[in-house]
């Protein structure tokens, strides 16, 4: 999140190194869910030794590097795979705040790579089956020589401040009475600051000024990078777009609705504005 890095304990790599010792960390996915060990409500990532030599038939397998010196892999399993008795498939998003922060960040990286593998089995230009590019996290078309790298979709997320209040909105996709700050994807030709201005105007009809960078957060659902800002109200009255946003308003620290927790960048933005 804004004050965390995936590289505290993790060293990325594409080709397995001889230095890796002990069992491997296995980030295993089926559809949109990740396989975890569920030990009395304390989820953890399984190790290769947990499968007792059982062969894991996968549609893709990618070496990720090392975590605390242990090798890591991500695998995309066939839908027919049956989880061992002490393991369960869970939606990765539901594990936010349950897994250790470093582990969740690496699981997010693994999920993005698995999803990228799924989406780039064939060349988008000529339709040929792609191959791994030697020494890089990329796919290569042997026919037309096209190269496909992992996709990252940048998006902005912004806390808009007016006096001692913050603008919070309810997106139609949120659960009832759940509010957050404004967010949206960057469009071609835009700067991040352009995107902040456009998204706020489109979704709630107001103008902002004095846009300041706050921090960033990888958001692997499926491949976003959230870039956070704080901006000041400039002019206009709130008029929701009715398509994405159905309710929005100004909130102070004494009347905050249910909102994101502080282990997300949205929650950290709200905390920074109202409780600094």
Give me the average pLDDT of each 10-residue run along the chain (276 residues).
76 81 90 88 92 86 94 90 89 92 95 95 97 94 97 97 97 95 98 98 98 96 95 98 97 96 94 92
User: 4, 7, 42, 49: which is closest to 24 by C-alpha?
Assistant: 49
Task: Say what the pLDDT of residue 5 is.
Answer: 87
**Which residue intervals of the chain bear CATH 3.90.79.10?**
153-274
Please tell me the distance from the alpha carbon of residue 70 to that of residue 11, in angstroms, as a whole number: 10
Task: Say what the pLDDT of residue 26 is.
Answer: 96
Task: Say what the pLDDT of residue 66 is.
Answer: 95
Task: Say what the pLDDT of residue 147 is.
Answer: 97
The answer, yes or no, to whether the previous bond of 182 is cis (omega within 30 of 0) is: no
Task: Say what the pLDDT of residue 136 is.
Answer: 94
Task: Say what the pLDDT of residue 2 is.
Answer: 44
Task: Say what the pLDDT of residue 57 is.
Answer: 86
Task: Say what the pLDDT of residue 32 is.
Answer: 85
Task: Say what the pLDDT of residue 125 is.
Answer: 96
Q: In 10 A of CB 15, how many CB atoms?
A: 9
Domain 6-119 has CATH 1.10.1330: no
Q: Residue 44: which residues within 8 A CB-CB, separation 6 or more?
A: 36, 37, 99, 103
Task: Say what the pLDDT of residue 20 is.
Answer: 53
User: 96, 119, 95, 137: which is closest to 4 by C-alpha?
Assistant: 96
Q: Residue 41: which residues within 8 A CB-CB, separation 6 or more?
A: none
pTM for this entry? 0.90
Please tell me the distance from the alpha carbon of residue 244 to that of residue 205, in angstroms, as a whole number: 13
Q: What contacts 24+ positions apart, CB below 8 Å, involve 143-150?
A: 148/120, 148/123, 148/124, 150/112, 150/113, 150/116, 150/223
153-274, what's its fold? Nucleoside Triphosphate Pyrophosphohydrolase (3.90.79)
Task: Say what the pLDDT of residue 238 is.
Answer: 98
User: 165, 237, 235, 239: which is closest to 207 by C-alpha?
Assistant: 235
Task: Say what the pLDDT of residue 39 is.
Answer: 78
42: tokens are: 């304390």
């Amino acid at each position: 999140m804004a004050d965390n890095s995936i590289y505290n304990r993790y060293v990325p790599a594409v080709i397995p190194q001889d230095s890796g010792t002990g069992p491997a960390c296995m980030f295993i996915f089926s559809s949109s869910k990740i396989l975890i060990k569920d030990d009395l409500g304390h989820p953890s990532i399984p190790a290769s030794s947990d499968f007792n030599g059982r062969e894991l038939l996968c549609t893709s397998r990618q070496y990720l590097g090392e975590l605390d010196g242990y090798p890591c892999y991500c695998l995309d399993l066939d839908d027919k795979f049956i989880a061992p008795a002490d393991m369960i498939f869970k939606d990765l998003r539901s594990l936010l705040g349950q897994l250790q922060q470093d582990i969740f960040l690496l699981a997010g990286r693994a999920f993005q790579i698995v999803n990228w593998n799924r989406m780039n089995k064939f060349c988008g230009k000529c339709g040929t089956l792609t191959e791994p590019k030697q020494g890089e996290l990329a796919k290569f078309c042997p026919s037309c020589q096209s190269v496909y790298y992992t996709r990252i979709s940048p998006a902005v997320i912004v806390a808009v401040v007016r006096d001692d209040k913050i603008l919070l909105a309810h997106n139609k996709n949120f659960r009832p009475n759940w509010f957050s700050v404004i967010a949206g994807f960057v469009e071609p030709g835009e700067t991040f600051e352009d995107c902040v201005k456009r998204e706020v105007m489109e979704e709630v009809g107001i103008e902002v000024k004095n846009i300041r960078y706050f921090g960033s957060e990888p958001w692997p659902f499926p491949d976003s990078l959230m870039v956070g800002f704080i901006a000041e109200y400039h002019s206009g009255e709130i008029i929701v777009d009715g398509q994405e946003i159905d309710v929005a308003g100004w909130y102070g620290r004494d009347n905050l609705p249910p909102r994101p927790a502080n282990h997300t960048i949205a929650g950290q933005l709200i905390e920074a504005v109202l409780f600094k």
